[in-house]
Amino acid sequence: MSTPTTVKEVGGYKLGKLIIEGKTKQVYDVPSLPGHCILLSKDRITAGDGVKAHDLAGKSIISNKTTCKVFEILTRVGIKTSFVKEAASNAFLSKKCEMIPIEWVTRRLATGSFLKRHPGVKEGYRFNPPKHETFFKDDANHDPQWSQEQIISAEFKVNGVQIGKLEVDYMTRVSILVFEVLEKVWSTRDCALIDMKIEFGVDSCGEILVADVIDSDSWRLWPSGDKRLMVDKQVYRNLSTVTDKDLDTVKRNFEWVADQLDLLIPPNDHLVVIIMGSPSDKDHCNKIKSYCQELGLNTEIRVTSAHKTTEYTLDIISYYEGLNLPIVFIAVAGRSNGLGPVISGNTDFPVINCPPGSKDDLGRDIWSSLNVPSGLGCTTVVYPETAALAAAQSIALTNYIVWSKLRVRRLGYFWSLPKADQGTRN
């Protein structure tokens, strides 16, 4: 094998003991950073629970690059992962986890082993929502499929955390979320993510994290949705004999995938423009702004009155139209809201009215936002958080980062609310 048995230093990190060595990676302690480890990739490709295995020079660098890019995206949208940062071309720094010995598989289309286990289902059957399956990591027994009930009954205790129904349910939901986020990301490169597997670990703080790696070994990826163009490890799995030329093809595919991630175009810049009719509405606008920022939205706050400074209001609209960006306007005006409807009548960007003022005023004032002249499409919300969410949903239509942040936020409730519920019962 091309990787030496033990390594002393990686990317400036002095390595401690080799914690574990698997088929494709070595995991080392980092004595200077307790609770962390270095995952060092090997130039090795394997399939069929390790029965088929080859050295493949350069694979470690390609795999590491892919994993780092993928985890950077997941971290950016707020998914909790063990990834910390790239440490070297073939290694990354990670939180040290006790791993949960389950593979969490999510599928959009039926193919591969699913078809064998479900005779009669045609290849390409589309799962909406994605299909989720779990497999116990046990090479000797070919990673048998396990039900949720089997995982719960195994009573895994990992870094002090008992893996019960809530935890299994949460990991199932996170697996689907990770799939959906990466599916969106890959669609921007015209690639269909067909299925993928991830693993979870628990760090020293007892937090459940997406761990291990996510690279070309982890998924099926079909450029243009065409199976014949597949660029994932399936190409290697399908080989009955493996020539140097075959290995070169596999490597070039993996390289292509890593390069595509480099070419990911960051989503269009965007702007949420919060316009208030009077400086006295500033506190309300700042609340909207802070909710927007939590969702990763860029914001600007402006002041103008549609009634008193009409031309200035129109100038502001023209300025933002000229930026040629996806824009959402949020109009904040008390009493008679002329502002939102006037903006709405002079732009084709979405306009959301979010009137300020006390609850008592609202019942009276809201009608000026709701009962708009014909031909206007502005909408009205009452709470600053709702305004920010509505703006984010518009931006998310063309922005996979904002879409993912919304998706992650929604998932958060499936952890925080049952935890709160459990708290009330203790």
- Contacting positions for ligand ATP (CB under 6 A): 20, 22-25, 27, 37, 39, 82, 94-97, 99, 137, 139, 199, 201, 211-212
State the DSSP code for 139.
G
Residues 273, 320 contacting (CB under 8 angstroms): yes
Classify burial at 405, counting beta carbons within 10 Å of its beta carbon; exposed 0-12, middle 13-18, buried 19 or more.
buried
Pairing between strand 102-109 and 191-202?
antiparallel
> And the tokens for 135?
């497999």
CA distance 346 to 98: 58
CA distance 354 to 337: 10
Tell me whether residue 28 or residue 329 sits nearer to ligand ATP (CB atom): 28
CA distance 161 to 205: 10
Peptide bond into 129 cis (omega under 30): yes
Angle between helices 165-187 and 59-76 (to 10 degrees): 110
Specify the 3-state DSSP secondary structure of 326. Answer: coil
What kind and span of H or E run contains 86?
strand 83-88
CA distance 200 to 103: 8
CA distance 402 to 407: 9
Write down the residue that tokens 């703006």 correspond to.
391
Q: CB neighbours (10 Å) of residue 395?
A: 27
